Amino acid sequence: MTCKYCGSSQTICIYDYSEVRFQCINGHIWHEQYKEDGGAFDKPEEITYSFEDTLFPCEKDIYAQIMDVFQKQKRHGFSGEVLNDIRGVLNRSGLDEETAEKLYKKIVHYNPNKCIEGGKE
């Protein structure tokens, strides 16, 4: 799916109880209906999602690398050393600074009850 406002291919899709919500990496948000309401999307029997579902395509590989940092250091949580290693992954990722910072904040402040927030309509 590409953004209907800017054409970006960096989009996420969240199935909600009443609609399908999309957001592009530039912050545009739009909603689509399920087939039962005249839309194009099948409504899942159960609405579930994971943290990875909130990541844009360009963020998923980098997130996997960050999780590898945790596995290699056999730690759970954020210490100064782990944060430096994560910053190193982000710096080597090729993401621009703003996108890297958004990913970092997304990881640190993840709230499973609020997948899409803010944004531009």
Tens of pLDDT, residue by residue over 32-86, are: 999 999 999 999 999 988 889 999 999 999 988 888 887 777 655 555 677 778 7
- For the chain, helix, strand, coil in percent to 5 are 40, 15, 45
In a domain? residue 78: yes
- Look over the chain and give the mean of its residue pLDDT values, rounded to a whole number: 83
The proportion of the chain whose per-residue pLDDT surpasses 90, expressed as a percent, equals 41
Say how many C-beta atoms besides its own lie within 10 A of residue 112's C-beta: 9
In a domain? residue 115: no
How much is the pLDDT for 5? 97
CA distance 74 to 1: 37
Where does residue 42 rank: exposed (0-12), middle (13-18), buried (19+ CB within 10 A)?
A: exposed
In a domain? residue 120: no
In a domain? residue 26: yes
Residue range(s) defining the domain that contains residue 16: 11-108
Helices (H) and strands (E) counted in the chain, each on its own, are 3, 3
**What's the whole-model pTM score?**
0.74
In a domain? residue 5: no
In a domain? residue 117: no
In a domain? residue 29: yes
In a domain? residue 114: no
CA distance 51 to 3: 21
CA distance 104 to 53: 16
Structural domain count, the chain: 1
How much is the pLDDT for 112? 56
How much is the pLDDT for 78? 54
